[in-house]
Structure 1
Amino acid sequence: MRNYELVCVIQPDLDENAFNSVLEKVKGWVTESGGNVDKVDVWGRRKLAYIIKKHREGQFVLLNLSMNPSTTSDLERNLRYQEPIIRHMLSVVG
């Protein structure tokens, strides 16, 4: 198991229920693959450096994960196909 940081930029116009359901989906994918979500830190709504998919702002979330390196490709594929997630970045910690 390795430690990862996952930063997601989620569409700014989602209501609280839709935002929480996106987070629950991401957490579910991690736990289904045998990993753990250690911490979820919601940074809130912030202005983007440039326009992404016609959005000037995004809701930023940082997730600290521990999971097997072999399951990261499945997680990234699932993130890529989620429309509410504008951008994501998964990186190894340490």
Structure 2
Amino acid sequence: MNKYEAVIMFYPEVEEEKREASFTRIKNVMEEHGKINNIDEWGMRKLAYEIEYKQEAYYIFVEFECDPTEILEINRIARISDPVMRIMVIKVDE
């Protein structure tokens, strides 16, 4: 298993219940074939540049371990989730 870090950006106008439901779905995929080491909710942050005319996003940072094949599934789930603006997953070198 490899170590990864993910930053998930949610649209600012999304209600907390919908954001939590979407994050729980992504988190379940991470836990299914690996383990989560740390979850850090950064909250609402200003974007460096506008994305779809939005100037802010709600950020969640996750450190986790899983098989490399699961990254495709995590990205797929995030992209089909309406509350998710962007997701970036990077492999951490040890």
TM over 0.5: yes
Q: In 2, distance between residues paired with 1:73 and 1:89?
A: 12
Q: 2: distance between equivalents of 1:17 and 1:2?
A: 31
Measured against aligned partners, the alpha-carbon deviations of 1:11-56 in whole angstroms (never above 9, x if no partner) come to: 1112222222122111112123x11111110001011111112311
The residue that corresponds to 1:37 in the other structure is 36
Provide the C-alpha distance between the structure 1 equivalents of 2:74 and 2:84, rounded to a whole number of angstroms: 13
Question: What is the rounded CA distance, in whole Å, between the counterparts of 1:93 and 1:55 in structure 2?
Answer: 29
Kept in 2, the 8 Å contact 1:8–1:62? The answer is yes
The residue number in structure 1 matching 2:45 is: 46
Give the counterpart letter for 2:3 in structure 1: N
The runs of 5 or more residues in structure 1 that have no matched partner are none
Paired residue for 2:64? 65
For 1:80 and 1:19, the matched residues in 2 are separated by 14
Gaps of 5+ in 2: none
Q: CA RMSD in A?
A: 1.2
SS of match in other structure, 2:12: coil
State the TM-score, normalized to the length of structure 2.
Answer: 0.90
* Residue 2 of structure 2 corresponds to residue 2 of structure 1: yes
Query: In the TM superposition, what is the alpha-carbon distance from 1:76 to its structure 2 partner?
Result: 1.1
Q: Alignment identity in percent?
A: 28
* Alignment match, 1:56: 55
